[in-house]
Amino acid sequence: MNESIFKTEETAPRIPSEIKALFFALQLSDPDPTPLKRLSDEVWANVLAFCKTANLTLPLALLPMEGFPDWVVERLTANLSDNALRFDRVKATYREVAEALERAGVEHIVIKGITQSPDYVADPRLRAQSDIDIFCPPENIEAAHGALTAIGYEPSPEKVSYALADHKATLVRYGDWRWRGNAFDPEMPLSIELHFCLWNPRVSQIDIPEVELFWERRTRRELDDLSIPCLDPIHHLAYLTLHILRNLFLGEWIVHHVRELALFLHSHSEDEEFWRLWNQINSPSLGPFAAIAFYLARAWFGCRLHPLVALEIDRLPATRKSWLECFSGSVLKIMFERNQDAMWLHLTYLSSRSRRWRIIKRNLIPARIAPISSISVQLRNKRLLPSVGRPLWQQYIFFLISRSAGYVRADSITLWRGLCWRLSRAF
């Protein structure tokens, strides 16, 4: 069962043609690299820039590269080599962090990152990693924070709001390192994110009590020469699906998480024992949340599914199935233009009128126009674009007007598309 929306050009979402070509090549069933091989050097530059932001560079580098331009092959090969060397820094950083937490008597688990290996990525050297995500029970967060500041980490100076985050302010320790344009630089230090929850009901307005059991079933994994406390494999998958859903609700880029989930589902499509345990350990209440991520993995990357996974999708209420059929491509389009289509899915999980209003307000009525860290640049689709030489006050006014207009346009489209979707279900 591999019903990918990228199976044909007709069903693929309206995104740039070169990015469609990338998705055709990244399919897990019947991949087609031919469209990629037809791209010009200029268009290839766009693909590589997109992959860098979307964390798809290394998955691209693992494809057969015959027919790619020589300079593309050279760059991707260098990225793979640099990231393999970078794993030594990842290990050294984690050892130091783990020792600091142990001295402070703080239990922890590692989430995401290196714990994705080997089930979601074959080798940790094949996964980009810029930070280490640590979860501690909320009562131990301050002790963990103190242990890390004692070895030189400090909150990032970047002006970022953490109001919707599941972690405290990102901790950094730069030393003498300087950015040289290489996202896979073996010498680039890793930041640390201390997570105080595995699901945030305050932000999502959705309660999933079962998540509290994840910590109780934690285990250890031997990886390379590391022994890492982490989630049990069953709850690791559950957490990943919830993380995808969380970021979907918040309008974040989720494509690399969905890609890793698709690889897992594809390789475990005949693993009867794993899915027996999934069914045995998890309560039925978790299925309607995990099924959204399962659907996206199949729709975007054409992965095989175990019958139990397909059943989880089939069990979804008609409203959510309808949303997925209408908007699974829209979730990809958010990487190119702002939309709030995920709000309609989010609302299907809420019965309280007050909670629904909080979500609508957050999506359609931003508390404030997001600031720009520097007047000389604009942030658009996660890329910094240079200014065009206007005076600073003109740049600032232009930024505010364009950002406000963007919100109004996106909100209008969201309301219109939501109305059309609701009406389509009525007939």
Task: Report the pLDDT averaged over residues 52-71.
Answer: 96
Alpha helices in 186-340 (DSSP H): 201-204, 233-249, 255-267, 272-281, 287-301, 307-314, 318-327, 330-333
**pLDDT recorded at residue 365:** 77
Domain contains 41: yes
Q: Which domain holds residue 223?
A: 17-328
Helix axes 287-301, 307-314, angle to 10 degrees: 110
Looking at the 3D structure of the chain, how many domains does it have?
A: 1
Task: Report the pLDDT averaged over residues 138-142.
Answer: 95
Domain contains 239: yes
CA–CA separation, 295 and 12 (whole Å): 15
Give the residue from 266, 344, 279 showing the smallest Cα distance to 312.
279
Q: Where is mean pLDDT largest: 269-278, 279-288, 381-390?
A: 269-278
Query: Could you tell me the end-to-end alpha-carbon distance of the chain, in angstroms, rounded to an integer?
Result: 29
Where residue 338 falls among pLDDT bands split at 50, 70, 90? confident
- Residue-wise pLDDT for 275-296, tens only, equals 999 999 998 889 999 999 999 9
CATH number for 162: 3.30.460.40
**pLDDT recorded at residue 216:** 94
- Residue-wise pLDDT for 212-253, tens only, equals 999 999 999 999 889 999 999 999 999 999 999 999 999 999
Residue 299 confidence (pLDDT) above 80: yes
Pairing of strands 383-386, 377-380: antiparallel
193 forms beta bridges with 133
Residue type, 76: L
Domain contains 297: yes
Residue 363 confidence (pLDDT) above 90: no
Where residue 268 falls among pLDDT bands split at 50, 70, 90? very high
- Residue-wise pLDDT for 143-153, tens only, equals 999 999 999 99
Domain contains 218: yes
Where residue 386 falls among pLDDT bands split at 50, 70, 90? very low
**pLDDT recorded at residue 12:** 84
Domain contains 235: yes
**pLDDT recorded at residue 381:** 39
Residue 383 confidence (pLDDT) above 50: no
Task: Report the pLDDT averaged over residues 21-29.
Answer: 96
CA–CA separation, 394 and 249 (whole Å): 34
What is the reported pTM?
0.89
Domain contains 345: no
**pLDDT recorded at residue 330:** 87
Domain contains 59: yes
- Across all residues in the chain, what is the average pLDDT? 88
Task: Report the pLDDT averaged over residues 187-214.
Answer: 95
Domain contains 109: yes
Helix axes 70-103, 41-54, angle to 10 degrees: 10
The size of the chain, in residues, is 427
CA–CA separation, 323 and 362 (whole Å): 20
Residue 169 confidence (pLDDT) above 90: yes
**pLDDT recorded at residue 156:** 87
